[in-house]
Amino acid sequence: MLFYFYHICLAVFLLQGISIPFLVIAAGLAWWKQSARLAQLERGVSAADRKDKRNGAIESLIERLPNLAPLNCTACGAGVLLHPNETVCPHCGTCGPLPGDYAVAVNLKSQLKGLVKSAVRHWRVANFFTHPVAAWAFFLLIFVEPLIVFPAVVIGSGLYSDTLFDRTLISLGETTAFLIMLSAFLGFVMWMVVFMFLHTLSKSLRRKLPLRPAFETQTISKTETANCRSCGGGIEYDGADFACLCDYCNVENFRVKFAHRERAQAQTHHTAANRLLFGAMEIVEDFTGTFFFVLTILALSSVLLSLFYAAKNGF
């Protein structure tokens, strides 16, 4: 039994080294994609003050978008939806021309749809990370690495000295074997850092997001139309999205109820949910950026150390 447990821990130990570049690339792509989307939207409102960060980068951008007066259908009088080239009544299906002074603002606001969908995905991620089981799992995994995996590899290598792995390392030569084990050890360290980051992220989300979408109480699967809770204009919820931004007044609208977490302060739903849509995304994105730079520094350090050792030994 111990023999097989040793090989399982050894496989995990080695795979951690292999995963280093994939971790760095995945974190970098996630951070770059979101930064590029925000930069594109920022260019659309370039006349605004870039230093205004009182409500966060995304909220600051949204506040600087123009507000539009709600339009009503000429046939039935219901609020119409704003599309890039026309207006559409969700009740009777009547289409109409988009006023000329609305076109630029509507096209600019259409760029927000990608951010809204990203915000919805981040809320689902936040729901997972703040689940008690996930929070405890990340906390325990911090100690699994140094207290179980690494000791099992060290003890097992002393007890079983002529395994297939040992013979393979010997055949590769001393320098190559050292670099493989160095990569595995650095991967072991980096994964401990990963679990620490995930545990910290879980705590941060629970502390900073006292409300959460009550996904478990409602089924969301189709497109729906409604009226904005602020201006009364026509709004549309896409697919499985639980929220949207009004194309007229830029106010967040939700089609799910928000449940208070244990630590939430007493306050009304309307006040608590104000500018809540992008809360999870900004927290997760901040962690992703920090996580990417930390992993990059660790990865570059490991590469430099490997090159130094290889050069010193004439590899």
What SS3 state is found at 212?
strand
Look at residue 259 and give its three-state secondary structure.
Answer: strand
Q: What are the b/e assignments for 162-200, b being 16+ CB within 10 Å? A: eeebeeebeeeeeeeebbbeebbbbbbbbbbebbebbbe
Q: How far apart are CA 232 and CA 270, in angstroms?
A: 16
Mind listing the pLDDT tens digit for each residue in 37-64?
666 656 555 544 444 444 455 666 677 7
User: Measuring CA to CA, how many Å separate 71 from each of 75, 76, 94, 118, 165?
Assistant: 12, 12, 13, 28, 71
Task: Lowest mean pLDDT of 5-9, 116-120, 220-224, name the range.
Answer: 220-224
Nearest partner of 220 among 130, 92, 124, judged by Cα: 124
Q: Are strands 252-254 and 243-245 parallel, antiparallel or unpaired?
A: antiparallel
Per-residue model confidence (pLDDT) at position 80: 92
Give 213's strand partners: 258
How many C-beta atoms lie closer than 10 Å to residue 85's C-beta?
10
**Alpha-carbon torsion (222, 92, 85, 235), positive or negative:** negative
Give the strand order in the sheet containing 86-88. Answer: 81-82, 86-88, 95-97
Please compute the mean of the pLDDT values over residues 115-141 and round it to a whole number: 80
Q: Which is higher by pLDDT, 64 or 146?
A: 146
Distances in Å between the Cα of 112 and the Cα atoms of 50, 231, 301 are: 18, 19, 38
Q: Is the pTM of this model over 0.85?
A: no
pLDDT at 89: 92
> Which residues have a Cβ under 8 Å from the Cβ of 267 and sit 6 or more positions away?
none
Mean pLDDT of the chain: 76
Q: What is the separation, in whole angstroms, between the first and last Cα of the chain? A: 38
73-108 pLDDT tens trace: 989 988 999 888 889 998 898 999 888 888 878 877
Q: What is the DSSP string of 263-291?
A: TPPS--HHHHTTT-TTHHHHHHHHHHHHH
The helix-helix angle for 174-208 and 2-18 (nearest 10°) equals 80
Tokens matching residue 120: 């919805």
**Spatial contact of 217 and 54, defined as CB atoms under 8 Å apart:** no
Q: What is the pLDDT of residue 153?
A: 85
97 DSSP β-pair partners: 86
Q: What is the pLDDT of residue 95?
A: 92
Contact 118, 37 (CB under 8 A): yes
Enumerate the β-bridge partners of residue 86.
Answer: 97
pLDDT at 216 over 70: no
